[in-house]
Amino acid sequence: MDDRLFVSRDGSPLRGNTLRQAFVRARKQVRLDDLTFHDLRHTGQPLAAQTGATLVDLMKRLGHSSMAAARRYLHAVDGRDREIAKALSELAAHGVVARLSRHITMRS
């Protein structure tokens, strides 16, 4: 499969401890011995969130059944507040906020 980082010799997904062993070998090869497999979740979820993934999208990616579990993996990213402020300014500059706030008010 093209979308997997670690696959067996025949291209099928790795099973059981084989995945862990492949990760350990790869980790040693790039000299990141302190990196845990779980660290990948804490890196991947914030990156996915930055692409615009919704909380439901993130829940599905990690197999969470509750929003609380998915939120544990979301971390504030340095500079993100600046990006959000810029996007809000763009909305305000183009008059989109006025239309948006009317929709929100009408739904309440």
Same domain, 9 and 27: yes
Q: Taking 60 as the threshold, does the pLDDT of residue 70 lie above it? A: yes
What value does the mean pLDDT of the chain take? 79
Question: Looking at the 3D structure of the chain, how many domains does it have?
Answer: 3
Q: The domain containing residue 24 runs over which residues? A: 1-35
User: Taking the CA of residue 108 as centre, how many other CA atoms within 13 Å lie in the half-sphere pointing to its CB?
Assistant: 6
Residue 7: phi and psi, rounded to 5, are: -135, 160
For 15-56, how does the pLDDT look when each residue is reduced to its tens digit (9 = 90+)? 878 888 888 999 999 999 999 988 888 888 888 887 888 889
Same domain, 30 and 56: no
For 92-102, how does the pLDDT look when each residue is reduced to its tens digit (9 = 90+)? 787 665 555 54
Same domain, 46 and 31: no
pTM: 0.54
Residue 13: phi and psi, rounded to 5, are: -60, 145
Same domain, 72 and 82: no
DSSP annotation string for 4-59: -SSB-TTSPBP-THHHHHHHHHHHHHTT-TT--HHHHHHHHHHHHHHTT--HHHHH
1-28 mean pLDDT? 82
Same domain, 42 and 68: yes
Same domain, 31 and 46: no
